[in-house]
């Protein structure tokens, strides 16, 4: 996973940090429950954000508890999860499978190949549970792959396809919130794709890998990214956020710029 949807550690209260950690550990719990250790090892901040967002909107029944685990073997820690968390665990594994495949194709990484092979049975299971969703995601990934093969240097084109992927992930069910979540996810996905291309630019050039920003003026990237995420936030503000609002605001308005700001400072 990309790991860009994180909170700004300097601007979060202790209460919000605790609530975030409980949801994070809840997602870890469900990944282990459904997908064993290989699933738990895919745990991501990105799907923790989606979990918080969808939980805030749909207010599902929540199971809470305390446990010791492989990551925290010495002391008990709290967790909470719901049916939304189970859905996010499915999407976490699905996107991780695609990410391992992409890493293998980019770098011929044996580790990534082995991890993808281990997740393959789970991929088929998730595909069976969400046939239309996975079909649309597969289609967008195939289009991105084709653009990479043909060295398409209009960054909007692959970014649009990744936007379609995140749109599918954010739509938990087809209801009155689906269209707004789909539009929010679309622009969020575009931001993630463009940010990732920006952060990988030097390494991609060095390793002669595809990067859609090759002909883009890098001085324009702040404005481009700002415009894209502002569109995402317009739809985010239309959603009935009933809890975790301060955490979600922290991520969208501050935290997701962490990697970008670090790279700008380095440059």
Quote the CA–CA distance of 186 and 266 in Å, as a whole number.
29
Q: Is the model's pLDDT at 267 over the cut of 60?
A: yes
Report residue 197 as tokens: 């291309």
Q: Residue 103 has what pLDDT?
A: 84
Model confidence band, residue 9 (pLDDT cutoffs 50, 70, 90)? very high
What's the mean pLDDT in 140-150? 95
Mean pLDDT of the chain: 94
Q: Residue 183 has what pLDDT?
A: 98
Element (H, E) at 63: strand 63-67
Q: Is the model's pLDDT at 14 over the cut of 60?
A: yes
Q: Residue 203 has what pLDDT?
A: 92
Cite the DSSP H helix spans in the chain: 14-40, 45-58, 83-107, 110-129, 131-149, 156-170, 178-199, 201-206, 221-236, 245-253, 258-266
Structure confidence by residue, pLDDT tens digits, 216-232? 999 999 999 999 999 99
Q: Residue 265 has what pLDDT?
A: 82
């Amino acid at each position: 996973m990309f790991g860009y949807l994180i909170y700004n550690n300097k601007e979060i209260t202790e209460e919000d940090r605790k609530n975030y950690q409980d949801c994070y550990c809840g997602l870890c719990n469900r990944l282990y429950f459904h997908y064993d250790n290989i699933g738990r090892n895919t745990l991501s901040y990105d799907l923790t954000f989606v979990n918080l967002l969808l939980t805030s909107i749909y207010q599902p029944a929540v199971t809470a508890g305390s446990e010791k685990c492989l990551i925290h073997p010495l002391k008990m820690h709290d967790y909470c999860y719901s049916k939304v968390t189970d859905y996010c665990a499915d999407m976490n594994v699905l996107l991780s499978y695609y990410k391992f495949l992409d890493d293998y194709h980019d770098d011929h990484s044996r580790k990534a190949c082995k991890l993808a092979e281990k997740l393959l049975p789970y991929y088929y299971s998730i595909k069976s549970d969400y046939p239309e969703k996975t079909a649309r995601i597969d289609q967008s990934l195939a289009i991105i792959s084709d653009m990479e093969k043909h060295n398409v240097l209009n960054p909007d084109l692959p970014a649009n396809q990744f936007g379609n992927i995140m749109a599918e992930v954010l739509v938990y069910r087809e209801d009155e919130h689906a269209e707004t979540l789909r539009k929010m996810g679309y622009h969020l996905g575009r931001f993630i794709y463009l940010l990732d291309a920006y952060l990988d630019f030097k390494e991609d050039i060095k390793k002669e890998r595809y990067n859609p920003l090759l002909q883009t003026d890098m001085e324009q990237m702040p404005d481009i990214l700002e415009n894209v995420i502002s569109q995402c936030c317009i739809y985010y503000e239309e959603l009935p956020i009933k809890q975790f609002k301060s955490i979600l605001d922290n991520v969208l308005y501050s935290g997701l710029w962490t990697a970008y700001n670090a790279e700008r400072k380095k440059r």
